[in-house]
Amino acid sequence: MLLQGRDHLRLLLERADGSAAAWEAAPPGTKSLGMDTLLAALARCEFERAGVEPPAWAAPRRLPQPWVPEHPFLDREQVIAQTPGFLRELNVFVPVRDLVTA
């Protein structure tokens, strides 16, 4: 669902009709600092890609401890190795292939 939200944000930003302003409001927390940081990082990337100033809540903060969600096919070291740099800098580890949607 996180990726679907990211993809919807991308579509709204492409429309350039102001509808992406709905993303100005900070989303409620998920009770997972890792998931909240991932959401902020992905949203920030979409705003920056579109050349639009990201909302304040999309300024992700580096986690004090690594967040490596359990993966069904990869071990921890593989997840870390396959994580893109912009997430690695935040101490969030998700393989790049898990961030791709059709």
| Spatial distance between the Cα atoms of 77 and 97, rounded to a whole number of angstroms | 15
pLDDT in tens, 74-88: 999 999 999 999 999
Between the two ends of the chain, the Cα-to-Cα distance in Å is: 14
pLDDT in tens, 3-40: 898 999 999 999 989 888 888 888 898 999 999 999 99
This prediction has a pTM of 0.88
Using alpha carbons, select from 93, 91, 40 the residue that is nearest to residue 71. Answer: 93
